[in-house]
Structure 1
Amino acid sequence: MMMAGLREKKKEQTRRRIAEVALRMFAKRGYEAVTVNEIAEAAGVAKVTLFTYFPTKESLVLDVVKEDSAKIVNERRPGQAPLEALREHYRAFAAEGTEGVDVEGLLTRAWVISASPALMAGLHQTRAGQRYELAAALASARGVPDGACELRDQLMAAQITAVLTTVQEGFFQRLVEGTPIAEAGGRLADDVELAFDLLEHGFTGR
Protein backbone atom coordinates (compact mmCIF):
# COMPACT_ATOMS: atom_id res chain seq x y z
CA MET A 1 0.00 0.00 0.00
CA MET A 2 2.81 2.39 0.89
CA MET A 3 4.64 1.70 -2.37
CA ALA A 4 1.44 2.23 -4.34
CA GLY A 5 0.92 5.54 -2.57
CA LEU A 6 4.45 6.64 -3.36
CA ARG A 7 4.01 5.73 -7.02
CA GLU A 8 0.81 7.77 -7.23
CA LYS A 9 2.51 10.72 -5.53
CA LYS A 10 5.42 10.54 -7.98
CA LYS A 11 3.04 10.36 -10.93
CA GLU A 12 1.16 13.41 -9.69
CA GLN A 13 4.44 15.31 -9.22
CA THR A 14 5.48 14.42 -12.77
CA ARG A 15 2.12 15.48 -14.16
CA ARG A 16 2.29 18.78 -12.29
CA ARG A 17 5.86 19.45 -13.44
CA ILE A 18 4.98 18.85 -17.09
CA ALA A 19 1.96 21.15 -16.88
CA GLU A 20 3.93 23.91 -15.13
CA VAL A 21 6.76 23.74 -17.66
CA ALA A 22 4.28 23.87 -20.54
CA LEU A 23 2.44 26.86 -19.08
CA ARG A 24 5.67 28.82 -18.61
CA MET A 25 6.70 28.12 -22.20
CA PHE A 26 3.27 29.03 -23.57
CA ALA A 27 3.25 32.28 -21.59
CA LYS A 28 6.70 33.22 -22.86
CA ARG A 29 6.40 32.29 -26.53
CA GLY A 30 2.71 31.71 -27.21
CA TYR A 31 0.78 28.45 -27.35
CA GLU A 32 1.10 27.94 -31.10
CA ALA A 33 4.87 28.55 -31.13
CA VAL A 34 5.74 25.78 -28.66
CA THR A 35 5.94 22.13 -29.70
CA VAL A 36 5.20 19.07 -27.61
CA ASN A 37 8.75 17.85 -28.22
CA GLU A 38 10.12 21.06 -26.70
CA ILE A 39 7.89 20.71 -23.66
CA ALA A 40 8.91 17.08 -23.08
CA GLU A 41 12.59 17.98 -23.35
CA ALA A 42 12.26 20.95 -20.98
CA ALA A 43 10.31 18.82 -18.47
CA GLY A 44 12.88 16.01 -18.66
CA VAL A 45 10.48 13.34 -19.87
CA ALA A 46 10.05 11.33 -23.05
CA LYS A 47 7.37 12.46 -25.48
CA VAL A 48 5.50 9.19 -24.96
CA THR A 49 5.52 9.86 -21.20
CA LEU A 50 4.06 13.32 -21.73
CA PHE A 51 1.23 11.86 -23.81
CA THR A 52 0.56 9.32 -21.04
CA TYR A 53 -0.40 12.22 -18.78
CA PHE A 54 -1.77 14.61 -21.41
CA PRO A 55 -3.27 12.99 -24.54
CA THR A 56 -3.30 16.25 -26.52
CA LYS A 57 -1.38 19.50 -26.53
CA GLU A 58 -4.58 21.36 -25.59
CA SER A 59 -5.04 19.20 -22.50
CA LEU A 60 -1.79 20.59 -21.07
CA VAL A 61 -3.71 23.80 -20.47
CA LEU A 62 -7.38 22.87 -20.47
CA ASP A 63 -7.43 19.75 -18.26
CA VAL A 64 -7.53 21.76 -15.04
CA VAL A 65 -10.42 23.97 -16.15
CA LYS A 66 -12.83 21.08 -16.69
CA GLU A 67 -15.94 21.02 -14.51
CA ASP A 68 -17.54 17.59 -14.07
CA SER A 69 -21.02 18.74 -13.10
CA ALA A 70 -22.55 15.60 -14.58
CA LYS A 71 -20.57 13.43 -12.17
CA ILE A 72 -21.76 15.54 -9.23
CA VAL A 73 -25.37 14.97 -10.29
CA ASN A 74 -24.88 11.27 -10.98
CA GLU A 75 -23.17 10.64 -7.63
CA ARG A 76 -25.51 12.72 -5.46
CA ARG A 77 -27.00 11.26 -2.29
CA PRO A 78 -30.23 9.24 -2.58
CA GLY A 79 -33.16 11.62 -2.59
CA GLN A 80 -31.00 14.68 -3.15
CA ALA A 81 -32.09 17.02 -5.93
CA PRO A 82 -29.53 17.76 -8.67
CA LEU A 83 -29.41 21.49 -7.95
CA GLU A 84 -28.97 20.80 -4.25
CA ALA A 85 -26.04 18.51 -4.98
CA LEU A 86 -24.43 21.09 -7.26
CA ARG A 87 -24.90 23.90 -4.74
CA GLU A 88 -23.43 21.73 -2.00
CA HIS A 89 -20.38 20.93 -4.13
CA TYR A 90 -19.60 24.49 -5.19
CA ARG A 91 -20.38 25.85 -1.73
CA ALA A 92 -17.81 23.43 -0.29
CA PHE A 93 -15.32 24.39 -3.01
CA ALA A 94 -15.67 28.09 -2.17
CA ALA A 95 -15.48 27.35 1.57
CA GLU A 96 -12.13 25.58 1.18
CA GLY A 97 -10.55 29.00 1.12
CA THR A 98 -7.81 30.43 -1.03
CA GLU A 99 -4.77 29.88 1.14
CA GLY A 100 -1.89 28.66 -1.00
CA VAL A 101 -3.64 29.47 -4.28
CA ASP A 102 -1.17 30.36 -7.03
CA VAL A 103 -2.73 33.61 -8.24
CA GLU A 104 0.02 34.25 -10.78
CA GLY A 105 -0.44 30.76 -12.20
CA LEU A 106 -4.22 31.22 -12.48
CA LEU A 107 -3.87 34.53 -14.28
CA THR A 108 -1.15 33.19 -16.54
CA ARG A 109 -3.34 30.27 -17.57
CA ALA A 110 -6.27 32.59 -18.25
CA TRP A 111 -4.04 34.83 -20.38
CA VAL A 112 -2.57 31.91 -22.34
CA ILE A 113 -6.06 30.59 -23.13
CA SER A 114 -7.48 33.98 -24.11
CA ALA A 115 -4.47 34.71 -26.37
CA SER A 116 -4.84 31.48 -28.36
CA PRO A 117 -7.66 30.93 -30.88
CA ALA A 118 -7.00 27.18 -30.72
CA LEU A 119 -7.34 27.08 -26.94
CA MET A 120 -10.43 29.30 -26.98
CA ALA A 121 -12.01 26.92 -29.50
CA GLY A 122 -10.94 23.96 -27.36
CA LEU A 123 -12.42 25.57 -24.26
CA HIS A 124 -15.71 26.17 -26.08
CA GLN A 125 -15.78 22.56 -27.28
CA THR A 126 -14.97 21.27 -23.79
CA ARG A 127 -17.77 23.29 -22.23
CA ALA A 128 -20.23 22.18 -24.91
CA GLY A 129 -19.40 18.55 -24.18
CA GLN A 130 -19.78 19.09 -20.45
CA ARG A 131 -23.13 20.79 -21.01
CA TYR A 132 -24.37 17.81 -23.00
CA GLU A 133 -23.17 15.38 -20.31
CA LEU A 134 -24.90 17.46 -17.63
CA ALA A 135 -28.15 17.44 -19.64
CA ALA A 136 -27.97 13.64 -19.83
CA ALA A 137 -27.36 13.43 -16.07
CA LEU A 138 -30.35 15.70 -15.39
CA ALA A 139 -32.52 13.55 -17.65
CA SER A 140 -31.38 10.42 -15.85
CA ALA A 141 -32.17 12.07 -12.50
CA ARG A 142 -35.75 12.50 -13.73
CA GLY A 143 -35.92 8.82 -14.57
CA VAL A 144 -35.68 9.22 -18.34
CA PRO A 145 -34.43 5.91 -19.82
CA ASP A 146 -30.75 5.99 -20.83
CA GLY A 147 -30.58 9.67 -19.96
CA ALA A 148 -32.23 10.63 -23.25
CA CYS A 149 -32.12 14.41 -23.17
CA GLU A 150 -35.27 16.44 -23.68
CA LEU A 151 -35.36 20.18 -24.29
CA ARG A 152 -35.97 20.93 -20.61
CA ASP A 153 -32.79 19.07 -19.66
CA GLN A 154 -30.78 20.89 -22.32
CA LEU A 155 -32.15 24.25 -21.22
CA MET A 156 -31.44 23.58 -17.55
CA ALA A 157 -27.93 22.36 -18.32
CA ALA A 158 -27.32 25.48 -20.39
CA GLN A 159 -28.48 27.71 -17.54
CA ILE A 160 -26.32 25.91 -14.98
CA THR A 161 -23.16 25.97 -17.07
CA ALA A 162 -23.67 29.62 -18.07
CA VAL A 163 -24.18 30.64 -14.44
CA LEU A 164 -21.11 28.74 -13.22
CA THR A 165 -18.99 30.16 -16.03
CA THR A 166 -20.11 33.69 -15.16
CA VAL A 167 -19.28 33.16 -11.48
CA GLN A 168 -15.83 31.89 -12.45
CA GLU A 169 -15.25 34.82 -14.78
CA GLY A 170 -16.21 37.24 -12.02
CA PHE A 171 -13.65 35.65 -9.70
CA PHE A 172 -10.88 35.95 -12.29
CA GLN A 173 -11.83 39.54 -13.13
CA ARG A 174 -11.41 40.53 -9.50
CA LEU A 175 -7.96 38.97 -9.46
CA VAL A 176 -7.05 40.84 -12.65
CA GLU A 177 -8.18 44.08 -11.01
CA GLY A 178 -5.87 43.41 -8.07
CA THR A 179 -8.42 42.27 -5.49
CA PRO A 180 -6.61 40.36 -2.72
CA ILE A 181 -7.10 36.62 -3.11
CA ALA A 182 -8.72 36.26 0.33
CA GLU A 183 -11.30 38.93 -0.51
CA ALA A 184 -11.94 37.45 -3.96
CA GLY A 185 -12.45 34.04 -2.36
CA GLY A 186 -14.94 35.42 0.15
CA ARG A 187 -16.92 37.11 -2.59
CA LEU A 188 -16.84 33.87 -4.58
CA ALA A 189 -18.71 32.15 -1.75
CA ASP A 190 -21.40 34.85 -1.88
CA ASP A 191 -21.58 34.57 -5.66
CA VAL A 192 -22.16 30.81 -5.46
CA GLU A 193 -25.14 31.31 -3.14
CA LEU A 194 -26.61 34.03 -5.37
CA ALA A 195 -26.09 31.88 -8.47
CA PHE A 196 -27.94 28.89 -7.06
CA ASP A 197 -30.67 31.04 -5.53
CA LEU A 198 -31.38 32.37 -9.02
CA LEU A 199 -31.23 28.91 -10.56
CA GLU A 200 -33.58 27.51 -7.96
CA HIS A 201 -36.09 30.35 -7.66
CA GLY A 202 -35.67 32.23 -10.93
CA PHE A 203 -35.27 35.93 -11.61
CA THR A 204 -37.98 38.01 -9.97
CA GLY A 205 -37.00 41.35 -11.49
CA ARG A 206 -35.89 42.76 -8.15
Structure 2
Amino acid sequence: MSEIGLRERKKRRMYKDVSDIAVRLFLERGFDAVSVAEVAAAAEISKPTLFRYFPVKEDLVLHRIADHEGEAARVVAEGPTPLGALRRHFLDGLERRDPVTGLNDEPEVLAFHRLLYGTPALVARLYVHLERSEGALAQALGGGLDARLAAVQIVAVQRVLAQENWRRVAGGERVADVHADAVVAAERAFGMLAAGLPHLA
Protein backbone atom coordinates (compact mmCIF):
# COMPACT_ATOMS: atom_id res chain seq x y z
CA MET A 1 0.00 0.00 0.00
CA SER A 2 1.27 3.52 -0.78
CA GLU A 3 2.32 5.92 1.97
CA ILE A 4 -0.62 8.19 1.06
CA GLY A 5 -3.00 5.25 1.40
CA LEU A 6 -1.55 4.38 4.79
CA ARG A 7 -1.87 7.96 6.03
CA GLU A 8 -5.47 8.10 4.86
CA ARG A 9 -6.30 4.86 6.67
CA LYS A 10 -4.73 6.15 9.88
CA LYS A 11 -6.63 9.42 9.56
CA ARG A 12 -9.95 7.63 9.09
CA ARG A 13 -9.22 5.37 12.05
CA MET A 14 -8.45 8.42 14.18
CA TYR A 15 -11.76 10.03 13.20
CA LYS A 16 -13.68 6.88 14.07
CA ASP A 17 -11.87 6.13 17.33
CA VAL A 18 -12.18 9.66 18.72
CA SER A 19 -15.83 9.94 17.65
CA ASP A 20 -16.65 6.59 19.26
CA ILE A 21 -15.01 7.65 22.54
CA ALA A 22 -16.84 10.98 22.51
CA VAL A 23 -20.24 9.45 21.77
CA ARG A 24 -19.75 6.92 24.57
CA LEU A 25 -18.99 9.73 27.03
CA PHE A 26 -21.92 11.83 25.79
CA LEU A 27 -24.31 8.88 26.14
CA GLU A 28 -23.08 8.20 29.67
CA ARG A 29 -23.12 11.78 30.97
CA GLY A 30 -24.88 14.00 28.46
CA PHE A 31 -23.49 16.13 25.65
CA ASP A 32 -23.30 19.36 27.65
CA ALA A 33 -21.72 17.69 30.69
CA VAL A 34 -18.63 16.47 28.83
CA SER A 35 -15.97 18.96 27.76
CA VAL A 36 -13.80 18.73 24.67
CA ALA A 37 -10.78 18.52 26.99
CA GLU A 38 -12.25 15.42 28.63
CA VAL A 39 -12.80 13.80 25.24
CA ALA A 40 -9.22 14.58 24.23
CA ALA A 41 -7.90 13.11 27.49
CA ALA A 42 -9.97 9.95 27.07
CA ALA A 43 -8.70 9.59 23.49
CA GLU A 44 -5.13 10.25 24.67
CA ILE A 45 -4.58 13.13 22.27
CA SER A 46 -4.08 16.84 22.80
CA LYS A 47 -6.96 19.29 22.58
CA PRO A 48 -5.38 21.06 19.53
CA THR A 49 -5.06 17.69 17.79
CA LEU A 50 -8.72 16.95 18.45
CA PHE A 51 -9.73 20.30 16.96
CA ARG A 52 -7.71 19.55 13.82
CA TYR A 53 -10.01 16.58 13.24
CA PHE A 54 -13.22 18.02 14.68
CA PRO A 55 -13.47 21.83 14.38
CA VAL A 56 -16.48 22.00 16.70
CA LYS A 57 -17.65 19.76 19.52
CA GLU A 58 -20.85 18.78 17.69
CA ASP A 59 -18.82 17.21 14.87
CA LEU A 60 -17.69 14.51 17.28
CA VAL A 61 -21.24 13.17 17.10
CA LEU A 62 -22.17 14.14 13.53
CA HIS A 63 -19.10 12.30 12.20
CA ARG A 64 -21.17 9.11 12.43
CA ILE A 65 -23.47 10.30 9.66
CA ALA A 66 -20.98 12.43 7.73
CA ASP A 67 -20.50 9.74 5.09
CA HIS A 68 -24.20 10.06 4.21
CA GLU A 69 -23.79 13.66 3.06
CA GLY A 70 -23.07 12.62 -0.52
CA GLU A 71 -25.25 9.52 -0.50
CA ALA A 72 -28.23 10.92 -2.40
CA ALA A 73 -25.87 12.45 -4.96
CA ARG A 74 -24.22 9.07 -5.51
CA VAL A 75 -27.54 7.26 -5.75
CA VAL A 76 -28.96 9.41 -8.56
CA ALA A 77 -26.21 8.11 -10.83
CA GLU A 78 -27.63 4.60 -10.42
CA GLY A 79 -30.64 5.62 -12.62
CA PRO A 80 -32.66 5.14 -14.70
CA THR A 81 -34.23 8.30 -13.21
CA PRO A 82 -33.09 10.32 -10.19
CA LEU A 83 -36.32 9.90 -8.22
CA GLY A 84 -36.62 6.26 -9.21
CA ALA A 85 -33.12 5.55 -7.93
CA LEU A 86 -33.68 7.47 -4.69
CA ARG A 87 -37.02 5.78 -4.08
CA ARG A 88 -35.49 2.33 -4.59
CA HIS A 89 -32.57 3.19 -2.33
CA PHE A 90 -34.83 4.37 0.50
CA LEU A 91 -37.06 1.29 0.22
CA ASP A 92 -34.02 -0.97 0.24
CA GLY A 93 -32.82 0.87 3.34
CA LEU A 94 -36.13 0.15 5.07
CA GLU A 95 -35.81 -3.51 4.16
CA ARG A 96 -32.32 -3.86 5.61
CA ARG A 97 -33.19 -1.69 8.66
CA ASP A 98 -30.65 1.00 7.80
CA PRO A 99 -30.49 3.38 10.81
CA VAL A 100 -30.60 6.33 8.40
CA THR A 101 -34.22 5.43 7.58
CA GLY A 102 -35.15 5.57 11.27
CA LEU A 103 -36.36 1.96 11.10
CA ASN A 104 -33.96 0.33 13.54
CA ASP A 105 -34.49 -0.63 17.15
CA GLU A 106 -30.99 -1.71 18.15
CA PRO A 107 -30.33 -0.17 21.59
CA GLU A 108 -27.17 1.65 20.52
CA VAL A 109 -28.96 3.14 17.48
CA LEU A 110 -31.89 4.33 19.59
CA ALA A 111 -29.49 5.80 22.15
CA PHE A 112 -27.59 7.65 19.42
CA HIS A 113 -30.81 9.07 17.96
CA ARG A 114 -31.96 10.20 21.41
CA LEU A 115 -28.63 11.95 21.88
CA LEU A 116 -28.79 13.57 18.44
CA TYR A 117 -32.41 14.74 18.45
CA GLY A 118 -32.48 15.50 22.17
CA THR A 119 -29.57 17.95 22.10
CA PRO A 120 -30.38 21.38 20.63
CA ALA A 121 -26.76 22.08 19.65
CA LEU A 122 -26.60 18.81 17.72
CA VAL A 123 -29.93 19.45 15.99
CA ALA A 124 -28.63 22.85 14.88
CA ARG A 125 -25.40 21.32 13.58
CA LEU A 126 -27.42 18.62 11.80
CA TYR A 127 -28.84 21.29 9.52
CA VAL A 128 -25.32 22.07 8.32
CA HIS A 129 -25.05 18.41 7.32
CA LEU A 130 -28.42 18.59 5.56
CA GLU A 131 -27.38 21.71 3.66
CA ARG A 132 -24.25 19.95 2.42
CA SER A 133 -26.38 16.98 1.37
CA GLU A 134 -28.67 19.31 -0.54
CA GLY A 135 -25.74 21.00 -2.22
CA ALA A 136 -24.18 17.73 -3.35
CA LEU A 137 -27.52 16.44 -4.64
CA ALA A 138 -28.20 19.71 -6.48
CA GLN A 139 -24.89 19.38 -8.28
CA ALA A 140 -25.70 15.76 -9.19
CA LEU A 141 -29.02 16.98 -10.62
CA GLY A 142 -27.27 19.44 -12.90
CA GLY A 143 -26.81 22.52 -10.75
CA GLY A 144 -28.73 25.77 -10.88
CA LEU A 145 -31.73 27.05 -8.97
CA ASP A 146 -34.16 24.38 -10.20
CA ALA A 147 -31.78 21.62 -9.11
CA ARG A 148 -31.32 23.27 -5.73
CA LEU A 149 -35.08 23.57 -5.18
CA ALA A 150 -35.53 19.92 -6.11
CA ALA A 151 -32.70 18.79 -3.84
CA VAL A 152 -34.16 20.66 -0.86
CA GLN A 153 -37.52 18.91 -1.37
CA ILE A 154 -35.97 15.46 -1.76
CA VAL A 155 -33.72 15.75 1.30
CA ALA A 156 -36.62 17.10 3.38
CA VAL A 157 -38.86 14.18 2.38
CA GLN A 158 -36.22 11.64 3.34
CA ARG A 159 -35.59 13.40 6.65
CA VAL A 160 -39.28 13.55 7.59
CA LEU A 161 -39.84 9.91 6.66
CA ALA A 162 -36.87 8.84 8.79
CA GLN A 163 -37.91 10.98 11.75
CA GLU A 164 -41.44 9.57 11.70
CA ASN A 165 -40.08 6.02 11.71
CA TRP A 166 -37.70 6.81 14.54
CA ARG A 167 -40.46 8.54 16.55
CA ARG A 168 -42.64 5.44 16.40
CA VAL A 169 -39.83 2.99 17.15
CA ALA A 170 -38.52 5.16 20.00
CA GLY A 171 -42.09 5.24 21.32
CA GLY A 172 -42.00 1.47 21.75
CA GLU A 173 -43.54 0.15 18.52
CA ARG A 174 -41.95 -2.92 17.00
CA VAL A 175 -39.89 -2.40 13.85
CA ALA A 176 -41.80 -5.23 12.16
CA ASP A 177 -45.08 -3.41 12.83
CA VAL A 178 -43.79 -0.02 11.64
CA HIS A 179 -42.19 -1.41 8.46
CA ALA A 180 -45.35 -1.81 6.38
CA ASP A 181 -46.55 1.70 7.20
CA ALA A 182 -43.07 3.07 6.49
CA VAL A 183 -43.11 1.52 3.02
CA VAL A 184 -46.55 2.96 2.27
CA ALA A 185 -45.47 6.41 3.51
CA ALA A 186 -42.30 6.30 1.43
CA GLU A 187 -44.19 5.27 -1.70
CA ARG A 188 -46.70 8.09 -1.15
CA ALA A 189 -43.98 10.65 -0.48
CA PHE A 190 -41.95 9.74 -3.55
CA GLY A 191 -45.16 9.77 -5.57
CA MET A 192 -45.76 13.33 -4.44
CA LEU A 193 -42.20 14.23 -5.39
CA ALA A 194 -42.67 12.68 -8.81
CA ALA A 195 -45.86 14.69 -9.36
CA GLY A 196 -44.12 17.92 -8.44
CA LEU A 197 -40.82 17.15 -10.13
CA PRO A 198 -41.84 15.24 -13.28
CA HIS A 199 -38.55 15.98 -15.05
CA LEU A 200 -36.76 13.86 -12.41
CA ALA A 201 -39.26 10.99 -12.56
Task: With the length of structure 1 as denominator, give the TM-score of the two structures.
Answer: 0.70
What is the alpha-carbon distance in structure 1 between the residues aligned to residue 52 and residue 23 of structure 2?
18
Aligned partner of 1:31 in structure 2 is: 31
Cα distance change of structure 1 residues 11 and 128 upon mapping to structure 2, 3 Å threshold = closer
Tell me the CA shift for residue 164 of structure 1: 0.6
Distance in 2 (CA, whole Å) between partners of 1:55 and 1:189 is 38
Match of residue 107 from structure 1: 110
Letter in 1 for 2:162: Q
| Residues 69-148 of structure 1: pairs in structure 2 closer than 5 A | 69-73=72-76, 75-77=77-79, 80-97=80-97, 103-138=106-141, 140=142, 147=143
CA distance in 1, matches of 2:13, 2:147: 39
Contact 2:19 2:63 in 1 (8 A): no
Structure 2 counterpart of 1:176: 170
Q: Which runs of 5+ in 2 are unaligned?
A: 197-201
Q: How many residues align?
A: 185
Residue 178 of structure 1 and its aligned partner are, at CA, apart by 0.1
Q: 1:159 corresponds to which residue?
A: 153
Matched-pair contact (CA < 8 Å) for 2:105–2:175: no
- 1:1-26 Cα offsets, whole Å, 9 max, x none, are 8xx9xx96x98776555433322322
Note the alpha carbon deviations across 1:50-78, whole angstroms, 9 max, x for none. Answer: 567655432221133344312222x334x
For the structure 1 residues 170 and 181, does the alpha-carbon distance in structure 2 shift closer, same or farther, using more than 3 Å as the test?
A: same
Sequence identity of aligned pairs in percent?
34
Q: Please tell me the root mean square deviation across aligned C-alpha atoms, in Å.
A: 3.2
Distance 2:19 2:108 in 1: 11
Distance 1:90 1:26 in 2: 29
The residue type equivalent to 2:109 in the other structure is L
Structure 1: runs of 5+ lacking an equivalent? 141-146
SS at match of 1:32: coil
TM-score, scaled relative to structure 2: 0.72
Q: Which amino acid aligns with 2:115?
A: V
Q: Secondary structure at the match of 2:32?
A: helix
Residue 24 of structure 1 aligns to which amino acid in structure 2?
R
In the alignment, the residues of structure 2 paired with residue 103 and residue 200 of structure 1 have an alpha-carbon distance, to the nearest angstrom, of: 33
Distance 1:43 1:102 in 2: 28
Query: Is the partner of 2:113 in helix, strand or coil?
Result: helix
